[in-house]
Amino acid sequence: MVTPETWSRFVDDASPLPEGPVPRRPSPAVGARVVREEDLPRLLGYAGDVRVVLTGGAGQVAGPSGWCVRHEIELVALDTTVRDLDDPAGNARRVVAAVHAARANGDLRDDTLVHVRVAHDLTASWLAAADVLAEAAMVVVLSLDAGDPEPWLDAAMDRELEVSLVGGTVEQAVAALGTAARLWGEPGDLSRGRRWIRSWVSTDVDAALVHLGEL
């Protein structure tokens, strides 16, 4: 089942930044504007929500988030990556610690969600990392380019851990919603899938909006 609210703020816009001022897309299906931290100065004066993708480790949290606070950028999501593949749970704990420190220092707002990208293979060590992220009420980020997201979706939902998707096609993103709905016990109800999947990052927003509008 699809309702008018099913696609609300589903597509996070990672399309290439234009020259000059960055426009805000008027579609209700579009959520945050996605940029890497080095592109933040190009968003000065931007009136919409922003999701910043960090290219460094946990220690990089405070810099970009603090810049957004000082320049009144509406930072709704900070997007980082677990890079220590030998100890993902330890890396996740360092991310949590850095986030707590940034909030305590006023460099990160309490309502900014932290999205954490994980590896595709779901091993015991990655399940331990998922436990850490769930306890801190973070959002796990799954790459559709890496393969079937169902094992991670199942693990995330078991921990009441929300999910964001990146990569892949709009068809894959919709299929992931269907998977989440089925795992939740209501197959075919894509609106139920949104209970768990907050958003999908796309570089081809126009095509995505056309496809979603036809469903």
pLDDT for res 4: 78
pLDDT for res 56: 82
Ranges of residues in the chain with a pLDDT under 50 are none
pLDDT for res 75: 97
Q: Which CATH architecture has domain 11-213?
A: Alpha-Beta Barrel (3.20)
Give the pTM.
0.95
pLDDT for res 107: 95
For 10, 32, 77, 91, 98, the CA distances from 94, given in Å and listed in that order, are 29, 26, 18, 5, 6
Beta strand ranges found along the chain (DSSP E): 11-13, 30-36, 49-53, 74-81, 113-117, 139-143, 162-166, 197-202
pLDDT for res 172: 98
CA distance 200 to 45: 25
CA distance 157 to 75: 25
pLDDT for res 58: 72
pLDDT for res 15: 96
pLDDT tens for 50-108 read 999 998 877 788 999 999 999 999 999 999 999 999 999 999 999 999 999 999 999 99
